[in-house]
Amino acid sequence: MGAHAHVHPPDPVPHSSLVSASHPGLPLNDGKLHVLLAATGSVATIKVPLIVEKLLRIYEPSRISIQIIVTEPAERFLPAADKPLPASIHVWRDSDEWENWSTRSDPIVHIELRRWAHLLLVAPLSANTLAKIANGLCDNLLTSVIRAWNPAVPILLAPAMNTYMYTNPLTKRHLQIIQDEMDWITVLKPVEKVLACGDIGMGGMREWSDIVEVVVSKFPPPLYPKKSDVVDSQGVVQDKPRHNTPDHAGTGHIRFQDPESE
């Protein structure tokens, strides 16, 4: 499919088996586009507030809800950002996984985040988290969300790493595994630039404004928000199947999106 194929919202499908009550901070039936934005250990994390601000401006706060996951290394970079995150944006950390759970009927945070999201955008994606995704590791909140992901829902990955990390043979292998085995994932090819460490070469995160444009192309504002959540008579959220998107249907492979092809 083309680089700007739209993702159409799924139709609600009843589900017979009950699941745990949803986390109160993750309402499924609020009629908004749900963007789960994650940041990992790269200085490009400082661009996260800019991505959030632009998405809020395009969709307006009444039509989009953004939740953020940060890994421990990513959190160290946030204070260096040019502007803070809006106070209304909730930031999820590894500790939230256990602080929100004490008994078997409590919400499981990584599952609730997966149910809530219409899109997962990991920007920036470090070499370390790329390796975890490719090898199925799930030792923190973000990688647990990704391991438990519904493959009918898109994930965008925006790698950001040193040139020699990016050109390392293991990086090529990890990207190939994702391409061959995880066709719900689109990798946004990094760019050549002067990196934060002073090196010049490939590996810089795609320009943050271009990443926003990819999100907008998948979820055009005129089509969103649309309600597609199933809640039973007792107010218990049902885990809802989603239809495959045009980007996934019948290809068997992910699209490695090259900025030059846009």
3 state SS for 139-154? CCHHHHHHHCCCCCCC
Q: At what angle do helices 127-135 and 169-181 cross, to 10 degrees?
A: 40
Distances, alpha carbon 208 to alpha carbons 148, 158, 211, in Å: 27, 9, 5
Cα 257 versus chain centre, distance: 16
Query: Tokens 């973000």 appear where?
Result: 142
**Which residues on neighbouring strands pair with residue 186, listed in sequence order?**
156
Spatial distance between the Cα atoms of 225 and 239, rounded to a whole number of angstroms: 19
Q: By three-state DSSP, how is residue 31 classified?
A: coil
CA distances from 57 to 87, 120, 160, 216 (A): 15, 19, 25, 12
Residue 228 CA to residue 225 CA, distance in Å, equals 10
DSSP code of 38? Answer: E
First to last CA, the chain: 13
Active centre residues (catalytic): 197
